[in-house]
């Protein structure tokens, strides 16, 4: 029985569609939902002894947190009858989602097949790929 569904939302169209799919499931199963938006924090990667390092993303501000909150809250408001909790976390998206899935003991983790990066070189994005491999629970990858 599905009682609690975690959904990864990054604000991209496929992630919003994944959230809608999860909301449809929740209506049928009466499961509660948690929407999580992970704000990617910069990671420092050494690129060689002489060349220094690169960072993977720009430092994040309070404004980014507000925008992320607004996105997940807006989706949650679409179906007031559902029990939806929204969260904004900082970190590496796939890691945070897998950890949260374990902590909250959810029965299902839902993500979109793609996110903001429309490059079609891979069938699914790197975040969906990682959660499929590492989540402690069943994963549903929504392809539309």
Point out which residues bind Mg ion (CB under 5 A). Answer: 115
Residue choice 84, 86, 98, 112 for contact with ligand ATP (CB under 6 A): 112
Q: Considering the rule CB under 6 A, would residue 93 count as an interface residue with ligand ATP?
A: yes
* Among the residue ranges 24-32, 49-57, 75-83, 106-114, the one whose residues contact ligand ATP (CB under 6 A): 106-114
Integer-rounded Cα radius of gyration of the chain: 16
Residue choice 76, 128, 135, 139 for contact with ligand ATP (CB under 6 A): 128
* Among the residue ranges 20-28, 78-86, 115-123, 132-140, the one whose residues contact ligand ATP (CB under 6 A): 115-123
In angstroms, rounded to a whole number, what is the distance separating the alpha carbons of residues 77 and 119?
31
**15-34 binders of ligand ATP (CB under 6 A):** 15, 18
* Among the residue ranges 23-31, 46-54, 78-86, 114-122, the one whose residues contact ligand ATP (CB under 6 A): 114-122
Burial degree of 134 (CB within 10 A; 0-12, 13-18, 19+): middle
The site partner of 114 among ligand ATP, Mg ion, none (C-beta below 5 to 8 Å per kind) is ligand ATP
**Which candidate, 87, 74, 117, places its Cα nearest to that of 6?**
87
In angstroms, rounded to a whole number, what is the distance separating the alpha carbons of residues 139 and 70?
25
């Amino acid at each position: 029985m599905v009682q609690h569904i975690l959904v990864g939302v990054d604000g991209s169209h496929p992630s919003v569609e994944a959230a809608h799919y999860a909301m449809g499931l929740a209506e049928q199963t009466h499961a509660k939902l948690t929407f999580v938006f992970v704000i990617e924090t910069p990671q420092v990667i050494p690129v060689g002894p002489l060349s220094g390092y690169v960072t993977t993303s720009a430092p994040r501000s309070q404004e980014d947190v507000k925008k992320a909150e607004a996105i997940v809250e807006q989706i949650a408001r679409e179906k007031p009858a559902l029990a939806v909790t929204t969260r904004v976390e900082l970190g590496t998206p796939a890691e945070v989602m897998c950890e949260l899935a374990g902590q909250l003991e959810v029965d299902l983790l839902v993500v979109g097949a793609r996110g903001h990066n429309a490059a079609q070189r891979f069938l699914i994005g790197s975040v969906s790929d990682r959660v499929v491999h590492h989540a402690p629970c069943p994963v549903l990858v929504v392809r539309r």
